[in-house]
Structures are given as structure tokens and as C-alpha cells.
């Protein structure tokens, strides 16, 4: 069974209050979701809190999941990422990016998409990557930074050393292009 | 409000929201609109599903164990302590080709020459951790002992833990019988008559890692690292 299909099955079992399935689901999916939280909030203790809250929500909402809502992993990622974005919005000051911290790199997203990697990804993600490949490098970079680090337009303008309007236009056009490609 | 019914306007907003780039009052306003309009919620969720696939690309990050413990407590989940049989069966993977070949050869030989009662038993114990570790265990009545042969790697070691051999009966109502512990220097276990008799109904041998002081335990307490079916042999 494909890993993603196995996660779907585990999440469905969680909806029936199956604690054993929940543990397996947690073991298989939490390392990537924790990596996402670490990148978004750049604080491991806070990332742990968010992950925990996210999994509590996953457990309580699991009964509402069905496979027509998409892959379980992505459904869970949406919950956890929204938790993290909410926390970021509540924070008085946004965490700084420290390039020397290992998880700050975007190298993983820019590596070549090998056939082996493709087979591990869901079909939606494969399509998304193909669409991302068609964007200009600066558009892609901004979208990745916004997605993985929760960067605002202002932060992106600062990191790219470009005017705010330019960065906003890159993202707007990038998203338009993605929208057409994904349609 | 009508402008939000135009897909050329609300779809980019939904995408920006899903990406997290819609900030401040614009984000709050969009959230209010989503509460009111199903089509906005549905569109946003669809883009969240599409964009959040990017999480699949992330390298894994080790999660501190306390997160799971906190979840277990918060949800009052019963500790997921599986029964012995579940623990024993769950990690088994019978796909290891070398093991299959060894067993096929052994079983074929056994059926061709099997007096009654068996004078020896053999088992190929495969690692439950998918490490391609294989141990052959042979019990001989003439010697009243079980000898072990490591075919691949060293036996997994953990400080304070002792590899312990168990005989699992075909009768699932019978508890496993502890046959003894394995030592690096002496890879054999002496059998008494009761132990030998138990082999007649044995279905599996299993090796678990047990705490040093658990020599009176009547069931495996620790992790099972190797297991394999027991086959009777002729003299």
C-alpha cells in the first residue's frame, strides 16, 4: 500500500476513536509536520506546542475526514499549518530568520525532482511541482518563502532586496500562473 | 460585495490566503467573508489542499518524545500496549527472500525424512526490524540444548537488556515459555525435559530484549527483535 493511502486509512480509523491508529498516524506524519512548524515559527518549543495542538485538532476532527477531501497527510498539514499561521499572527513580533540554522535552508525544495521522489509524492503534489517549475525563479523563491516560513510581503521585499511593489507583483503573477496551471 | 463573486477576484484572494500571504485586515475581512459564503470556503480549502502538498517535500525533523506523551495524557488515550500476540505478529514481514529460501529448503528436507517423535527442531529467526538479520536456532534432543548461529550481523544489544529466547505455542491460550538467555560468548541454551516437551507444540521462537532483572518474567516484557517458525526434524 502506498504510504499516503496508509495514512488515509489510519486517519479514517482515528475518526472511529482508534487510539492505536492515532499513534501510528502520529509516528508516520509528525516528523514532516514538526519540520514545517519549526520553519514557520523558528522556535522549537513553540513548534512543539503547535504540533501538539494540531494533533489534538486532528484527533477531534478526524470523524469529519473522508478520502474525497484529499490525502490525509495534506488534510493534516492544512490543520497544523493554519495553527502555526494563527500563532504567527498573534505574536507581537515576528521571529527572525537565522540563515545559520539548519532548517532555514530551502535547498530541499529546489533539488531536482527525481523519479524516485516523484513516486513518493501524491499526484496533486506532483502536479503542483510541475506548475512551480514553470514559474520564474524569483516567483518560485517568494512563494516557497511565504509557504515554508510564513514571510510577509515586507519580509520578502527585504530578503530579496527589491521594492515592495515588485515583490507583490511577482507573487500575484506567480499565483495567477499557478492557478491557470492547476486548473 | 459583488466583486467577491467574481472568480478572477476571489480565486487569487483564496490562493493568497492559502499561501499565508494575505495579512492584516485583508486576511480578517476574507475570513469573515468565508464564514458567510460556502463557495469562498470551498475554493480556499481546495487551494489549501493543493498548496499544502509542498509539506511533502520537507525533510523530516525528529519530534521530542514529550509531544506524544502530552498528547496521550491530554486525550487520555490508553497506553497502546499491545497484547503479546499483537506485538509478536505486527512487525513480522515474511517477504525476506533469503529467509523464504532457507525455510523452503528446510521444510522440504523435513517432510522427506521425519520420524516420530522429532529428535530436533530448527528455526530461522528473522529480524523484526527489517535489518536482514538472520539467526538459525537448532534444538537437539541428544544434547538437550539449543544452539544458535548468527548468519548476518551481530545480535542487537542494549545496555541493561539481555536477549531472551521464548517458545511460542501453537495453542494461543498457552503463555510463551521462557527458554533462557543468549550470551555473546556462549551461543547455546540448555534445555530441561519440560522445555523439550514444550517444543512439540511450538509454533515460533522469538528473541526479545529483557531487563537483566526480569529473569522470572513469564511473558516477554521488552521488544521482540527476532522471530521465526519452528520446524521439527528427523534424527
Residue A163: the pLDDT is: 95
For residue A93, the enclosing domain spans: 1-98
For residue B22, the enclosing domain spans: 2-57
In angstroms, the CA B186 to CA B40 distance is 71
- Cα distances (Å, whole numbers) of residue B195 to A138, B78, B165, B179, B224: 72, 35, 12, 7, 20
Helix (H, G, I), strand (E, B) or coil at B47: helix
Q: Are residues B50 and B90 part of one domain?
A: no
Place of cell 506546542: A49
* DSSP-assigned letters across all residues of A73-105: HHHHHHHHHHHHHHHHHHSSSPPPP-TTSGGG-
Q: Are the CB atoms for A108 and B55 separated by under 8 Å?
A: no
Report how many domains make up chain B.
2
Of all residues in chain B, the one with the smallest CA distance to A168 is B21
pLDDT band at A40 (very low <50, low <70, confident <90, very high): very high
Q: Are residues A85 and A52 part of one domain?
A: yes
φ/ψ of residue A161, rounded to 5:
55, 45
Tens of pLDDT along B165-186?
Answer: 899 988 878 888 888 888 766 7
Mean pLDDT value of segment A101-105 = 53
Q: Are residues A115 and A51 part of one domain?
A: no
List, for chain B, all residue ranges whose pLDDT scores fall below the cut of 70: 1-5, 78-117, 129-134, 151-157, 184-185, 215-216, 234-235
Compare A91 and A144 and report the one with higher pLDDT. Answer: A144
- For B45, other C-beta atoms within 10 Å of its C-beta total 17
Q: Check which CATH number belongs to the domain holding A139 and give it.
A: 1.10.10.10
Q: Are residues A12 and A49 part of one domain?
A: yes
Q: Are residues A143 and A118 part of one domain?
A: yes
Whether B183 is covered by a domain: the verdict is yes
Q: Are residues A94 and A111 part of one domain?
A: no
Whether B196 is covered by a domain: the verdict is yes
Whether B69 is covered by a domain: the verdict is no
Does position A2 have pLDDT exceeding 60, yes or no? no
> A87 pairs with which residues across the strands?
none
Q: Check which CATH number belongs to the domain holding A80 and give it.
A: 1.10.1740.10
Compare A104 and B6 and report the one with higher pLDDT. Answer: B6
Tens of pLDDT along A28-37?
Answer: 999 999 999 9
- Select from B12, B16, B80 the Cβ nearest to the Cβ of A19: B80
Report how many domains make up chain A.
2
Place of cell 527472500: B97
Q: What share of chain B is helix, strand, coil (3-state, %, to 5)?
A: 40, 25, 35
Q: Are residues B103 and B49 part of one domain?
A: no
The domain boundary, picked from A79, A98, A117, lies at: A98
Minimal C-alpha gap between A7 and chain B (Å): 13
Which A residues, 64 through 123, put their C-beta within 8 Å of a C-beta on chain B?
69-71, 73-75, 77-78, 81, 85, 89, 103, 108-109, 120-122
Amino acid at each position: 500500500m502506498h504510504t499516503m493511502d496508509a495514512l488515509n486509512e489510519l486517519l479514517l480509523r482515528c475518526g472511529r476513536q482508534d487510539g492505536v491508529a492515532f499513534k501510528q498516524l502520529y509516528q508516520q506524519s509528525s516528523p514532516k509536520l514538526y519540520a514545517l512548524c519549526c520553519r514557520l515559527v523558528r522556535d522549537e518549543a513553540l513548534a512543539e506546542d503547535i504540533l501538539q495542538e494540531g494533533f489534538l485538532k486532528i484527533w477531534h476532527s478526524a470523524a469529519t475526514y473522508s478520502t474525497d477531501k484529499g490525502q490525509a497527510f495534506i488534510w493534516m498539514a492544512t490543520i497544523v499549518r493554519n495553527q502555526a499561521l494563527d500563532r504567527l499572527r498573534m505574536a507581537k513580533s515576528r521571529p527572525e530568520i537565522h540563515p545559520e540554522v539548519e532548517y532555514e535552508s530551502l535547498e530541499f525544495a529546489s533539488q531536482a525532482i527525481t523519479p524516485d521522489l516523484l513516486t513518493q509524492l501524491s499526484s496533486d503534489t506532483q502536479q503542483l511541482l510541475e506548475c512551480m517549475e514553470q514559474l520564474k525563479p524569483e516567483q518560485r523563491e517568494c512563494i516557497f518563502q511565504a509557504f515554508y516560513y510564513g514571510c510577509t510581503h515586507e519580509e520578502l521585499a527585504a530578503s530579496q532586496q527589491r521594492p515592495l511593489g515588485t515583490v507583490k507583483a511577482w507573487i500575484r503573477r506567480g499565483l495567477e500562473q499557478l492557478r491557470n496551471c492547476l486548473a | 460585495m459583488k466583486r467577491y463573486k467574481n472568480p478572477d477576484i476571489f480565486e487569487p484572494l483564496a490562493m493568497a490566503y492559502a499561501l499565508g500571504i494575505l495579512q492584516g485586515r485583508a486576511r480578517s475581512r476574507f475570513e469573515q467573508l468565508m464564514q458567510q459564503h460556502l463557495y469562498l470556503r470551498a475554493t480556499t480549502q481546495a487551494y489549501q489542499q493543493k498548496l499544502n502538498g509542498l509539506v511533502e517535500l520537507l525533510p523530516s525533523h525528529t519530534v521530542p518524545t514529550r509531544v506524544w506523551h502530552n498528547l496521550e495524557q491530554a486525550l487520555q488515550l490508553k497506553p497502546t500496549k499491545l497484547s503479546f500476540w499483537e506485538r509478536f505478529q505486527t512487525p513480522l514481514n515474511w517477504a525476506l527472500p533469503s529467509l523464504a529460501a532457507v525455510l523452503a529448503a528446510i521444510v522440504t528436507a523435513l517432510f522427506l525424512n521425519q520420524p516420530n517423535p522429532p529428535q530436533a527442531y530448527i528455526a530461522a529467526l528473522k529480524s523484526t526490524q527489517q535489518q536482514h538479520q538472520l539467526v538459525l536456532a537448532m534444538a537437539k534432543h541428544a544434547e538437550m540444548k539449543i544452539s544458535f548461529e548468527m548468519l548476518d550481523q551481530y545480535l542487537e544489544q542494549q545496555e541493561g537488556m539481555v536477549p531472551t529466547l521464548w517458545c511460542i505455542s501453537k495453542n494461543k491460550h498457552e503463555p510463551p515459555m521462557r527458554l533462557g538467555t543468549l550470551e555473546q560468548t556462549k551461543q547455546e541454551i540448555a534445555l530441561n525435559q519440560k522445555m523439550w516437551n514444550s517444543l512439540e507444540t511450538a509454533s515460533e521462537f522469538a528473541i526479545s530484549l529483557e531487563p537483566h532483572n526480569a529473569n522470572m518474567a513469564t511473558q516477554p516484557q521488552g521488544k521482540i527483535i527476532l522471530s521465526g517458525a519452528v520446524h521439527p526434524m528427523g534424527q
